Amino acid sequence: MQILALGALTVVSCLSILGVEAGRLLNYPPHVRTKRGAYIVEFESHVPSDHVSKFHAMPDIFVNHHYTKAFNGISVSTRSLDPIHLANVDGVKRVWPVRYYRPASFPPGASNSTDMYLHHVTGVEKALTELGLNGKGIKIGIIDTGVDYNHPELGACWKTEGCLWQYGQDFIGDKYTGANPVIDPNPTPMDCDGHGTHVAGILAGQGPEVHGVAPGATYGMYRVFSCPDGENTETADDIILRGLEAAHKDDHDIISMSLGSSGWPEEPLGVASAKLVEDGVVVVAAAGNDGFGGLQTTSAPAVAHGIISVGSVDNWNITAKQGIITSDQGSKSIMVSTPGNANYTFDFDSDVPLAFPDSNGANFNGCSKFSDDLVGKIAFVKRGDCSFNEKLTNAYEAGANGVLCYNNEPGLLGPSITVPVPIPFVLIGEKDGAYIADRLAAGSVSIKSPKGQYEIFSAETGGQMSSFSSYGPSAELNMYPLISAPGGNIWSTYLLKDGGYASLSGTSMATPYISGTVALIKQARPELSVEDITRLLVSTGKPITDPSTNLKFSPFRSGGGLVSVYDAIQSRVRFDPPVLSINDSKVGPINGDSKLTSLGTVRWAARTITICNHDSKKNMKISLDNMAGNSMSTFLANGSFTYTPRIWPSDATGNVPEDTVPQIYSFNGQKIIKPGQSTSVTVFIVAPKGLKDTENWYYGGFIDFTVQWQGEKTESKYNIPYGGYNGDYSAQKVLSPVSDGLPSILDDSTGNPIQDLSTLVIKENVTASLLYGLSMPSRLVEVKMVNSDTGESVGYLYNGYLEYVPKTCPQCAVPFVTTTIWSYASTDKEGKDTVEVPAGKYHALLRALLPRGDINNDNDYQVWKSGDFTVA
């Protein structure tokens, strides 16, 4: 483990310690890559922008950019100035290090899918054909990797008269790579990655292959990402801010951001996004692809106030490479994923026999050495227990000429192979795998998969929440995402040099779908405010059924459900508020009618909803019902912590007692609301009974309204998602569970955990790492070095003071946070002033602020103390 650059830190005495209050000068956790000596300085909102002159006058400060439109502040760089001096300037609200960003999607797959079916399901087709909408007159700014504007389906033009692309700029150029990234913008935001071109197609695709949601809108592309360096493209938030600022100056109605990283709304991009919303711009952002980490994985800036955060639903149809399986039961066509290594495609023009790693039926997953000789055969293995690389290597060593791996859960993904093994590796679906395993156990099975042979398949997971889609709620228990759209297996435009089309998956793909939807709404109803548009999207969304429970996916996963574009445009009802974030709720009897009092002691909340009939002529009849959603817990029944939430009820076939799902009580029967008038109704939301308070249950569902206008035959459906926490939210533990093996102290010379800390002697050049995780976001985490004899702290460990720390999880981009134990301690929160630790016995003291805790109250922290070690 390589952590320290000892020489880079100056050791000074602590005679004069500069102080700064919490929340002014922020450190990111060490896993967040930041630009050395670069900061974003946010001014208080009342501070005039000429405040920048103070910084121009400071020695060793270079003002890189002055933001005035999307953000009140500057980005600066400095060679050696302590950023505390920036934080201490009057009128400065916060100072953040500049952080790097990546776009939110998965690498391209060779499979592709048609957009026709999904436009049919979401109502885009009807909006375009029946209502004649196309986004005309609406301006959309896209902040992304650029666009291949030469693509014939993207207009094949740049800023010429009548061109789709009238705005945009490059803010980064092609030299932003390696150790010394250089910003050197090109004259136009030409895409060298593909991500932005794909996003652009979802919005603006002109056909015949790709049909955008808003093909008639006017577009701007603000390129803020580098060219890919290997797999990844990169940027930093000071550059994204420039893009946002320019897009705002160009006066776009909508800004679409398919990017994000785990974080908090207080970060600069969140602040800027909220400012845009305040100025009347609709800002749409990806919820993130950290769904494997479970609850509270929504990215920043999607968590910012007023932003429309978007979750992903899997596409129904996938056009993919075909594999033809032949067995004693004849032939069957199956879908084959993207090859793990693009240099070794899974092309077999004639039948090749499949074989298990071991004919005796053991080692199904191919994780140990194969006992059989597989020369001339394709290894058939199951996903799980070891990496794709290991399976591939074992198969290659057994002589196989390819690997067909079957998934151990629904869905398909592009396996990532990183070892240089010269045979192909592909993945197939769980069901197809089970079929082959069955046939292969009974006799011989072969496969062929001719080059260039594609077929449209129905996706097993079509219409369901994508497994990668990040969950809410926010650290403050607000509802995220707000709405979901198709984002899994989306076929769209791509770089012409790479074939012009590709299928990508990610909340990155769902985001432009919503941005396009907003353009159609704005075209049809230009008078609507940002809030009104958000309301329409959420209240007309279609809650999604989880086939494993027959209840709805929790609104903490799907928001209002799958976007319903036509219905949103045609909506004639306004609900206020559009979502009910219940928070934790009182426990006790409800004083009300006999039905309520008869519930006895329950956890409940009462809310008032105002419903307005927007039809100018017709009376509206309304009734409501409860549409319960899954409850989600972070604990399994046996008490183990789980990232993939445990779902209640776990088995839909069982008899689910009514009181173990949330209940809604409100008026009975129907209400009539006169044209243009509104009425208020009170709803009582009762948390599921019979779920243990100690199991961290997040419950939720939808208040399902049935609406009918006078003289009309058809009824319409609207919903208000509600969600809450079944217990005392602020009492939840924030540190990762012991089952993660954290916190843990590692020997930096070997990387191994130190079992007996009494053997650890820290001295010059001997350091150790303290690893910890957060099972939910924490506003403040600190790790101090404490003298075990006196109980006195000597200061913070290296990286030992962090604010606004996101959740970590083993399967997420960020598995844990690392701090370093060395023979110095920082006497300030920024880690600038360090003292040498006197020899003695010490321990590390880790404190993480509990949800909604008061940073000045010692009782509001979860505390962990290491064993004693020696500093020599």
Ligand X SMILES: *[C@@H]1O[C@H](CO)[C@@H](O)[C@H](O)[C@H]1NC(C)=O
* CB-based contact 354:445 (threshold 8 Å): yes
Of the residues 113, 508, 571, 775, only one is catalytic, namely 508
Concerning whether 46 is annotated as a catalytic residue, the answer is no
The full 3-state SS of 669-706, as one line of letters, equals CCEEECCCCEEEEEEEEECCCCCCHHHCEEEEEEEEEE
Nearer to ligand X, 492 or 581 (CB): 581
Nearer to ligand X, 394 or 478 (CB): 478
Nearer to ligand X, 586 or 674 (CB): 586
Compute the distance between CA of residue 512 and CA of residue 201 in angstroms, rounded to an integer. 9
Nearer to ligand X, 38 or 609 (CB): 609
Which residue, chain included where needed, has tokens 């279609």? 542
Nearer to ligand X, 121 or 204 (CB): 121
Q: How far is the CB of 415 from ligand X (least distance, A)?
A: 12
Q: How far is the CB of 187 from ligand X (least distance, A)?
A: 30
Q: How far is the CB of 403 from ligand X (least distance, A)?
A: 15
Q: What's the token pair of residue 675?
A: 């044209």
Mapped onto helix, strand or coil, the DSSP state of residue 62 is strand
Q: What's the token pair of residue 658?
A: 């009514």
Nearer to ligand X, 122 or 581 (CB): 581
Mapped onto helix, strand or coil, the DSSP state of residue 720 is strand
Question: Which residues are near ligand X by CB under 6 A?
Answer: 110, 112, 117, 316-317, 319, 341, 343, 420, 454, 456, 458, 462, 476-478, 499, 501, 581, 583, 636, 638-640, 764-765, 852
Compute the distance between CA of residue 377 and CA of residue 395 in angstroms, rounded to an integer. 10
Torsion region of 366: left, alpha or beta (phi above 0 gives left; psi -120 to 50 gives alpha): left
Q: What's the token pair of residue 463?
A: 């219409």
Q: What's the token pair of residue 194?
A: 């593909």
Q: Containing H/E element for 459?
A: none
Q: How far is the CB of 276 from ligand X (least distance, A)?
A: 22
Nearer to ligand X, 256 or 554 (CB): 554
- The burial of 323, by beta-carbon neighbours within 10 Å (0-12 exposed, 13-18 middle, 19 or more buried), is given as buried
Strands (E) in 171-225, as ranges, are 218-223
Q: How far is the CB of 722 from ligand X (least distance, A)?
A: 12
Nearer to ligand X, 764 or 792 (CB): 764
Nearer to ligand X, 258 or 464 (CB): 464
Q: How far is the CB of 525 from ligand X (least distance, A)?
A: 29
Concerning whether 279 is annotated as a catalytic residue, the answer is no
Q: What are phi and psi of 594, to 5 degrees?
A: -65, -30
Of the residues 115, 144, 253, 704, only one is catalytic, namely 144
Spell out the residues 6+ positions from residue 562 whose beta carbon is closer than 8 angstroms to its own: 121, 122, 313, 463, 484, 485, 541, 542, 544
What's the Cα-to-Cα distance from 430 to each of 341, 409, 412, rounded to whole Å? Answer: 21, 6, 8
Spell out the residues 6+ positions from residue 229 whose beta carbon is closer than 8 angstroms to its own: 177, 178
Q: What's the token pair of residue 477?
A: 């228990």
The full 3-state SS of 402-433, as one line of letters, equals CEEEECCCCCCCCCCCCCCCCCCEEEECHHHH
| Pairing mode, strands 761-762 and 869-871 | parallel
Maximum Cα interatomic distance, the chain, rounded to a whole number of Å: 87
Nearer to ligand X, 342 or 434 (CB): 342
Helix-then-strand count for the chain, H and E = 14, 47
Cα dihedral 377/378/379/384 (nearest 10): 180
Concerning whether 66 is annotated as a catalytic residue, the answer is no
Q: How far is the CB of 32 from ligand X (least distance, A)?
A: 26
Of the residues 66, 119, 151, 195, only one is catalytic, namely 195
- The burial of 386, by beta-carbon neighbours within 10 Å (0-12 exposed, 13-18 middle, 19 or more buried), is given as middle
Which residue, chain included where needed, has tokens 């958000």? 534
* Active-site residue set: 144, 195, 508
